[in-house]
Amino acid sequence: MRTFQELVDRREECDIMDYVDTKPDIDEETIIQAREAEKKLKRLKMAKYSHELFDEIIEEMMRDKKTILEMMAELDAQEAEIYAGQTRIAKRQQTKIIQDQMAAEANAKK
């Protein structure tokens, strides 16, 4: 225990800032990540109502090489719905390829 005189002598050394509680600085990176995660979740929820958005998300997941189980978990969808989306994507790609070939043939004939 300190004597009274020691305490009196030390009071000049004390700084109010040593005892002030302050809020920590806000980490902007964490806030940005949270906003991105929130946008992704909203997008996944909206995928239930739009085939185009659903197919777009499935296409992104296929590019990322995600498994059917991962897709089912993220989209909260049945396997049949995912296969139907993949079928629509494949048909769209085939149609585009055929249209490009027909356009190339038409240009070649000119």
Residue owning tokens 């509680």 = 21
Whether pLDDT at 54 is above 80: yes
Whether the model clears a pTM of 0.75, i.e. scores above it, the answer is no
Mean pLDDT, rounded, for 66-70: 92
Say if residues 57 and 75 touch (Cβ distance below 8 Å). Answer: yes
Cβ partners under 8 Å of residue 74, min gap 6: 44, 61, 66
3-state secondary structure 55-90: HHHHHHHHHCCCCHHHHHHHHCCCHHHHHHHHHHHH
Residues 1-50: tens digit of each pLDDT: 778 888 777 777 767 776 777 777 778 888 899 999 999 999 888 888 88
Q: At 93, is the pLDDT very low, low, confident or very high (cuts 50, 70, 90)? A: very high
